[in-house]
Structure 1
Amino acid sequence: MRPVLVYTASRIGLFLVALGVLWLLGLQNPLWLILASFLISGIASYVLLSRQRDAVSERLSDKIDRPKPQDD
């Protein structure tokens, strides 16, 4: 569960940083502020969080591939 939490917290953190920087730069319209922050944080997470994304993917694929116990 840890890789999922780290990745999620990192994504939220990148979004909040982008939101704060854009607000400080003078983008005051809430709709454009959120949309631009979402876009910037998405691009930044694609570049910066590839290692965490791979860990989440590996964790999820291991859970899916694990055999389920048989109930008789």
Structure 2
Amino acid sequence: MHPVLVYTASRIGLFVVTLGVLYLVGLQNPLILLAAAFVISGVASYVLLSRQRDAVSSRLSDRIGRPKPEDD
């Protein structure tokens, strides 16, 4: 599967799980709930998704470094 899709799906999944856990813990204010879930999932993704982030970076650098085909 495409590394960008895997990384994006993993980030979204981590955010949704964090949101659900914080809601179950008792955080009811929607604005604080979303902000806390955003921050916590961001920190967690930095730690947990480093392999996927490296794969995306490698894929993008290969794509940028590849010469473009010339149109006639």
What's the TM-score once normalised by structure 2's chain length?
Answer: 0.95
Taking the aligned partners of 1:66 and 1:45, their CA distance within structure 2 comes to: 29
Give the match for residue 37 of structure 1.
Answer: 37
Taking the aligned partners of 1:57 and 1:20, their CA distance within structure 2 comes to: 29
Give unmatched runs, 5+ long, in structure 1. Answer: none
* 1:58 lines up with 2:58 in the alignment: yes
Report runs of 4+ in structure 1 exceeding 3 Å deviation: none
Give the match for residue 2 of structure 2.
Answer: 2
Give the match for residue 14 of structure 1.
Answer: 14
What's the TM-score once normalised by structure 1's chain length?
Answer: 0.95
Q: Supply the AA of the counterpart residue of 1:50.
A: S
**What is the percentage of aligned positions where both structures have the same residue?**
79
Give unmatched runs, 5+ long, in structure 2. Answer: none
Deviation of residue 70 (structure 1)? 1.6
Number of residue-to-residue matches in the alignment: 72
Taking the aligned partners of 1:71 and 1:9, their CA distance within structure 2 comes to: 35
Pairwise CA RMSD: 1.0
Taking the aligned partners of 2:51 and 2:2, their CA distance within structure 1 comes to: 14
